[in-house]
Amino acid sequence: MTLLMSKNTSVFFFLITFLASTFMWAQTKTPARIQFSVVKYTLENGLTVILHVDNSLPLISYHTWYKVGSRDEYAGVTGAAHMLEHMMFKGSKRFPGNDYDRILHENGISNNAFTSYDYTGFYQSLPSSKLDLMMQLEVDRMSQLLLREEDLKTEREVVKEERRWRVDNNPTMALFELTMGTVFKASNYKNPVIGTMDDINNFNVNTLRKFHETFYVPNNAVLVIAGDIKIPEVKKLVEKYYGPLEKKDLPERNYKKEPAQTVQYNAKLKKDVKANSFNLVFQSVPQDHPDSYALDLICTILGSGSSSRLHKRLVYSKEMATGADCSHYNLMDQGILNIHVSLKPGLEIEDPLNVVYNEIYMLRNFPVKESELEKAKILAIKSHVDSLRTLDNKARLLASAEISTGNYETLFTDIEKIQNVTLAEIKTVAAKYLNQQQRSIVSLSPKK
């Protein structure tokens, strides 16, 4: 699974058109920028509000994200942020029981939520006439969540089923869980977002209530409203419903830093599978690190699509693998560059691993061709802006950029930073991060 590829291109061009109708990037390499109109402000209680007008559809995309994820958990309560996300649908003071879902459905509002290592997000797609209602519902569960023991009892079973489905019954995800646990020894990124089965079994409402009271506060949240809106009207509504919420002191977050890796880590997983696969992982950099753009491009050159080096060698020429992908995950405190290779049945990992080592050696020691770097930049930039193609994705990426960096505008400046990466940087950064001391090899093999 990779974050590198997407299919459509429209937003890229759309956004560029916004800035300069004379855009000729592919021909002249003039630095391109993406931009669309955004209004950002902060309420007195600390709630960050981001508004974007797009009247092309009579819909609004409504995102409420909290800066709390599995990195805020501690031993014995892994999965708490995720469990709380589930419990956010179990009723609040004004909307108890299943009112939240029932009312949304009756009003044509679709919704969902997710939890990650760094944050938790709730989102809806609503007819533009339903904004007032949506705010009432979201404010109530932000400030007056019920968290009843009887609801937790059932939802715990749901989350256990989710864990079985996502991880225990899914060899690829089990490999990823082991990978994170291998690469990270000190950081909470070592823990699965969904939690361990033991911890899921042991949650109680008091733990979750503490999480909610601590982190589900306006000064720990980002609200993004995008779509068929009028800014002055929305501002009034936000003030009316969110304004009275109380700002609360947030705990000091002393996340354990992962020490620099000095030796190679290895881990093996055996499952009832037909073929070997492996993750070759390098410790990387956090989201705001200047080297992250060169690492993005290195990852694209290595393993993004059928024109990438690893695909050409492992899948096409040597026919050793059914897939070879590279993903660069930038988390808020740390990153990983993960090369995942899925082998053909009957093949051992040694030879394919040597092919990957060889490609990394080439990157570390020889400059890539300018045309290859340009191709990677095109792919990277297009993929980046393609992800902004729909209203919901625009809202999602605004929320993510804001909550990750404190400045949504990084969403617009990334393209320039990708374009500015030089051939020399690719070589230097590859040499700096893709070395034996910083790597881990985590494999999945058939049980004998």
Partner 1 sequence: MFKYLVGVCFTASILLMSCQTAKKDIPSANPTPVAIAAKPTSSTALKLKPTKELVLENGLKVYLFRDLSLPRFSINLLVKVGQRNDTLEKVGVNHLTASLLEQGSNQYSATQIADKIASLGSDLSIAPGDEYTLVSIDGLSMSVDAIVDLFSELVFKPTFQNEEITKLKKEFTAQLKKVQDDASQVADLGLNAFLHKGTPLAYPSIGTEASLKKIGKSDIIKNYLTNYRPNNSILSIVGNISEDVEKKILDRFKSWPARSLKPAVAAIKPPADNKKMESQFKKDLVQSEIRVAMPMIPRKHPDYLKLRLINEIFGGGFVSRLNSKIRDQLGLTYGISSSLDLGLDQGYMYVSTFTKNETTQQVIEQINAEVAKLIDEGVTAKELSSAKNMVLAQFPRALETVDRVAFNFMYLDFYGVGSNYLYDFQRSVDRLTLDEINLAIKTHFSLDKMKIFVLANPSVEKSLAAIR
Q: Give the shortest CB-350-to-partner 1 separation in angstroms.
A: 18
Q: Are 245 and 183 in contact (CB under 8 A)?
A: no
What does the block give as tokens for 47?
């709630």
CB 2 → partner 1: shortest distance, Å?
9
Burial 318-356 (b: 16+ CB within 10 A, else e): eebbebbbbbbbbbbbbbbbbbbbbbeeeeebeebbebb
> CA-to-CA distance for 214 and 212, rounded, in angstroms?
5
Rounded to a whole number of angstroms, the minimum distance from the CB of residue 290 to partner 1 is 12
Residue 29's closest CA among 298, 378, 413, 308?
378
Residue 160 binds to partner 1 (criterion: CB under 8 A): yes
Q: Quick check: 91 and 146 in contact, CB under 8 A?
A: yes
Contact 223, 50 (CB under 8 A): yes
Q: Considering only CA atoms, which of 334, 326, 324, 335 is closest in space to residue 297?
A: 326
Q: Among 19, 35, 46, 114, which residue sits at the site for partner 1 (rule: CB under 8 A)?
A: 114
* Separation of alpha carbons 123 and 139, rounded Å: 13
Beta carbon nearer to partner 1, 26 or 186 = 26
Cβ proximity to partner 1, 125 vs 220, nearer residue: 125
The yes or no reply on residue 117 touching partner 1 (CB under 8 A) is yes
What is the rounded distance in angstroms from the CA atom of residue 335 to the CA atom of residue 404?
A: 13
Judged by CB under 8 A, the stretch of 40-48, 170-178, 212-220, 238-246 that binds partner 1 is: 170-178
Complex with partner 1: residue 103 or 205, whichever CB lies closer: 103
Which of 33, 52, 71, 82 contacts partner 1 by CB under 8 A? 82
- Told to check if 107 binds partner 1 by CB under 8 A, we report yes
Cα separation, 56 vs 391, whole angstroms: 9
Q: For residues 428 and 434, what is the distance between their CA atoms, to the nearest angstrom? A: 10
Could you tell me the smallest distance in angstroms from the CB atom of residue 85 to partner 1?
5
Q: Tell me the C-alpha distance between 48 and 42, whole Å.
A: 5
Q: Is 357 in the site for partner 1 (CB under 8 A)?
A: no
Closest CB to partner 1 among 21 and 254?
21
> Shortest Cβ distance from residue 345 to partner 1 (Å)?
5
Residue labelled with tokens 């209203």 = 391
Q: Return the residue of 67, 86, 190, 364 that touches partner 1, per CB under 8 A.
A: 86
Q: Can residue 348 be called a binding residue for partner 1 (CB under 8 A)? A: no
Residue with Cβ nearer partner 1 (420 or 436)? 420
Residues 171-200 that bind partner 1 (CB under 8 A): 171-173, 176, 192-194
The residues in 268-287 that bind partner 1, with binding defined as CB under 8 A, are: 271-275, 287
- Binding residues for partner 1, how many (CB under 8 A)? 134
Instruction: Single out the residue of 387, 438, 440, 443 in contact with partner 1 (rule: CB under 8 A).
Output: 387
**Which is closer to partner 1, CB of 316 or CB of 436?**
316
By CB under 8 A, tell whether 164 contacts partner 1.
Answer: yes
Q: Which is nearer to partner 1, 349 or 411 (CB)?
A: 411
41 lines the binding site for partner 1 (CB under 8 A)? no
Q: Where are the alpha helices (DSSP H) in 366-420?
A: 370-386, 391-405, 410-419
Q: Does 154 bind partner 1 (CB under 8 A)?
A: yes
For residue 208, the minimal CB distance to partner 1 (Å) is 14
CB of 378 to partner 1, least distance (A): 4
- DSSP annotation of 365: H
204 vs 232, which CB is nearer to partner 1?
204
Distance CA 176, CA 340 (A): 10
Alpha-carbon distance of 186 to 255, in angstroms, equals: 9
Considering only residues 403 to 442 of the shown chain, the ones binding partner 1 according to CB under 8 A are 404-405, 410-411, 414
Q: Is 147 in the site for partner 1 (CB under 8 A)?
A: no
Is residue 300 within 8 A of residue 363, CB to CB? The reply is no
Query: Which residues fall within 8 angstroms of residue 421, CB to CB, at 6 or more apart?
Result: 293, 294, 297, 373, 377
Q: Which stretch binds partner 1 (CB under 8 A): 249-257, 310-318, 356-364, 425-433?
A: 310-318
Torsion of CA 245, 248, 251, 252, to 10 degrees: 110
Answer yes or no whether residue 26 interacts with partner 1 by CB under 8 A: yes
Q: Is 78 one of the binding residues for partner 1 (CB under 8 A)?
A: no
Task: Output the smallest distance, CB 40 to partner 1, in A.
Answer: 15
